[in-house]
Amino acid sequence: MTISAERPTEVDDKGVDPPEFIAQPKLRRHGLLGQHLGTAIVCGFLGYILGHWLGNYVASGYPYIANSGQNSIAVLLALMFMVLGWLIGIGALNYPFAKMLGREAKGEVEYQGWTRYFRYNLDHKVVGIQYVVGVLVFFFTGGLLAMAIRTELLNPTVHVFSADTYIKIVSEHGTIMMMMASSVVVGPLGNYFVPLMIGARRMAYPRIEAFSFWIFSAGYLVIFSALFFGGFPTGWTGYAPLQTQAGPGMISYLFGFAIISIGMMAAGFNLAVTIINYRAPGMTWSRVPIFVWSIIATAALLTLASPVLLAAGLFGILDKTVQTAFYVTEHGGSSYLWENLFWFFGHPEVYILIIPGFGIISHVVSTFSGKPVFGYLAMAYAMVAIGFLGFIVWAHHMFTVGMPLNLQAYFVAATMVIAVPTGVKVFSWIATMWGGSIEFKTPMLFAVGFIFLFTVGGVTGVVLANAGIDYALHDSYYVVAHFHYVLSLGAVFAIFAGFYYWFEKMWGVRYNETLATIHFWLTFVGVNIVFFPQHFLGLQGMPRRSIDYPAAFSYWNRVSSYGYLVALMGLVVFIAVLAEAAIRRRAARANPWGAGATTLEWTLSSPPPFHQFNELPVIHADSH
């Protein structure tokens, strides 16, 4: 234990302002009074009706709307007013409205008790818990859509869904999963643990933090609403002009992306400012935990990449509603514009998913090996380097679009370079395990699983980075296998590792180690059966996103589909873990992992008190 959280007797306060409390809280225990999820739903519903009526009133006479009978403008306005109503209903706009009207803002009431989880709450620990539930809803929705996909692909024929429904399910699955994953670590674990790890009492911008969650959840509603407007047929990549051709469901996709990108910017901005300004005395840059480094690298990506998505989404919305032609070549736009804007966001996006995972894995490996993180600074720089490189390699997603060869050569080289910082990470993890005394508790199992699966995804990624080989594999199932190995397996294993690692800290109860181990093994075996055969399918030449396929591909497709059942059992066991922990309620320990867990959050009780760090910890030595 090298961190001490003792009383700051010798602290010189010069340049280190102890942060103030959020607001002098009036702790209330009222049940359903005030603004909460219920009022948000009601206001959102009313907003939807108002917007839809307005859209029909304004635009139903437009020739293209009258001709097609599909009023995209009504859908857009309905969704916009729904989001607005949602935010008003939850109370996100009380403070800015009061300020704008020149009134002194009252400050939010800090509710205690269970109802705080259904309110606009400014405590980062509450927002963290809200995010956990939010991403789980996303994750289960996407996972059930994946079940629909694997069911359809059990058989080469069109046997469960129509081609139309199938492609919409695929699109919805991809979109929901990517948007879920954009917040999967940053939202729950980033918001919950960053202030605890840097010894801060609160976030820099608690209102923006709470806003980021509530707009994220509104984004879920918007994206999910696509299914009720007839879905969208473009996949999560939404390529124009197919996008321009699609029905009103496309509006949900474009507007949902825009909404979620606003949430991503808000979350990233708040986290970056917090990490820069709210570190405890003595918490120098060379002492912040690796997870915090990973979050600040991610925060940079969130704030810099999301605006591009927002712009791209707005162009698409204009194309789809008022007949501009940003993405339509024959009217002066370009079909390449969307591809470039989308992937300029899309590549940083995949690092938004995976870099916080890197941070978690470092902590877990270090804790359970009983050793500090090997090569701490190299690890921190590697994540920053990966984040930077993420911005300059986007066109490797589009090697086949018809770029000049010299440009392709650049993207080949730049993409390959990412292997160096990624190699540093893998090396450091396995070097941290070197000569340790390793305890294979559930988080460590997930971490080891992560390292293995991520290496598989990395090796197939280096193959794909070569444009010459990518021509054979681009948009085939090989690519599907590759990105599911790094994301669906990599990021999800990282989040599970983090979830179990901090389980007691967040929930205040213990989980059942045996059940959790079963969860790990079922998931590990299941996902490998699902995704490994897809490498073979890709090499055989099966294109992505097609409902029917030649009988020659049916063997590995069947194997892959059966694998889903195993993974699904893993998910069921995961729910059982949650249920068991909730029912048995074994009291949590402050630090269940012993001497290996050296970061500040373990010095607090489990769950941490409402006012954490009444006395700011002073950091005297490196924790790594």
Partner 1 sequence: MSNENSQGEEINHFRRIVYIWIALSVVCDLLFWFLVGPHVPPGRMTSSAQGDQLDFNILFVIGLPVLIGVSEWLVYAAFNWNAKKKDTPESVGGPRAWGNKRVEVSWIIVTSVVVVCLAGFGIIELVALQGAGGGEGPNPIWYPHGAIQAETAALAGTGTWSPNSNDVLPVQVIAQQWKFTYRYPTFGGFESSELILPDDTAIAFNVTSLDVIHSFWAYQLEVKADANPLENNVAFTRTQQLGNFVVRCSELCGLWHGAMFNYGTVVSQAAFEKWATTTEAANAANTKNLAPFAWTYVPDANGAAGGYYPDGNVTPYSPTEIYGSKQPS
Contacts to partner 1 from residues 312-341, by CB under 8 A: 323, 325, 328-331, 335-336, 339
* Number of Cβ within a 10 Å radius of residue 469: 14
Written as six digits, the tokens of 192 are: 């919950």
Choice from 140, 525, 548, 589 touching partner 1 (CB under 8 A) = 548
Amino acid letter for position 514? T
Does the protein bind partner 1 through residue 425 (CB under 8 A)? no
- Work out how close the CB of 472 gets to partner 1 at its nearest, in angstroms, rounded to a whole number: 5
CB-wise, 418 or 495, nearer to partner 1? 418
Does the protein bind partner 1 through residue 362 (CB under 8 A)? no
CB-wise, 133 or 459, nearer to partner 1? 459
Q: Return the residues of window 166-195 that contact partner 1 according to CB under 8 A.
A: 167
Does the protein bind partner 1 through residue 442 (CB under 8 A)? no
332 touches 325 (CB < 8 A): yes
User: Pattern 129-168, binding to partner 1, x per CB under 8 A?
Assistant: ----------------------------------xx--x-
Rg value, the chain, Cα: 24
510 touches 435 (CB < 8 A): no
CB-wise, 334 or 512, nearer to partner 1? 334
Does the protein bind partner 1 through residue 448 (CB under 8 A)? yes
- Work out how close the CB of 60 gets to partner 1 at its nearest, in angstroms, rounded to a whole number: 16
- Work out how close the CB of 374 gets to partner 1 at its nearest, in angstroms, rounded to a whole number: 6
CB-wise, 478 or 511, nearer to partner 1? 478
In a 13 Å sphere around the CA of 579, the CA atoms on its Cβ side amount to 6
Question: CA-to-CA distance for 508 and 582, rounded, in angstroms?
Answer: 10
Choice from 4, 60, 68, 157 touching partner 1 (CB under 8 A) = 68
CB-wise, 129 or 453, nearer to partner 1? 453
Task: With both helix axes pointing from N to C terminus, report the angle between 290-322 and 376-389 in degrees, rounded to the nearest 10.
Answer: 10
* Interacting span for partner 1 (CB under 8 A) from 114-122, 177-185, 205-213, 435-443: 435-443
* Interacting span for partner 1 (CB under 8 A) from 85-93, 176-184, 250-258, 402-410: 402-410
Q: Return the residues of window 223-262 that contact partner 1 according to CB under 8 A.
A: 233-235, 237, 239, 241-242, 244-245
- Work out how close the CB of 424 gets to partner 1 at its nearest, in angstroms, rounded to a whole number: 6
Does the protein bind partner 1 through residue 38 (CB under 8 A)? no
Choice from 361, 547, 577, 597 touching partner 1 (CB under 8 A) = 547
Question: CA-to-CA distance for 283 and 261, rounded, in angstroms?
Answer: 31
- Work out how close the CB of 261 gets to partner 1 at its nearest, in angstroms, rounded to a whole number: 22
Amino acid letter for position 318? L
Does the protein bind partner 1 through residue 540 (CB under 8 A)? yes
Grouping H, G, I as helix, E, B as strand and the rest as coil, residue 174 is: helix
Q: Return the residues of window 381-400 that contact partner 1 according to CB under 8 A.
A: 398-400
- Work out how close the CB of 521 gets to partner 1 at its nearest, in angstroms, rounded to a whole number: 14
Choice from 50, 337, 403, 569 touching partner 1 (CB under 8 A) = 403
Does the protein bind partner 1 through residue 437 (CB under 8 A)? yes
Residue closest to 110 by CA, chosen among 39, 24, 37:
24
Question: CA-to-CA distance for 308 and 438, rounded, in angstroms?
Answer: 44
Amino acid letter for position 83? V
Residue closest to 125 by CA, chosen among 383, 423, 505, 569:
505
> What is the per-residue burial (b if ≥16 Cβ within 10 Å, else e) of 213-244?
bbbbbbbbbbbbbbbebbbbbbbbbbebbbbb
CB-wise, 298 or 408, nearer to partner 1? 408
User: Pattern 459-498, binding to partner 1, x per CB under 8 A?
Assistant: xx-xx-xxxxxxxx-xxx----------------------
Choice from 186, 275, 451, 618 touching partner 1 (CB under 8 A) = 451
Choice from 67, 104, 114, 614 touching partner 1 (CB under 8 A) = 67
356 touches 291 (CB < 8 A): yes
CB-wise, 102 or 402, nearer to partner 1? 402
**DSSP symbols for 298-350:** HHHHHHHHHHHHHHHHHHHHHHHHH---TT-GGGT--HHHHHHHHHHHHHHHH
Cis peptide before 241 (omega within 30 of 0): yes
Choice from 140, 388, 452, 532 touching partner 1 (CB under 8 A) = 452
18 touches 611 (CB < 8 A): no
Positive or negative: CA dihedral 489, 493, 494, 496: positive
Please count the residues of the chain. Answer: 624
Question: CA-to-CA distance for 47 and 32, rounded, in angstroms?
Answer: 22
CB-wise, 23 or 419, nearer to partner 1? 419
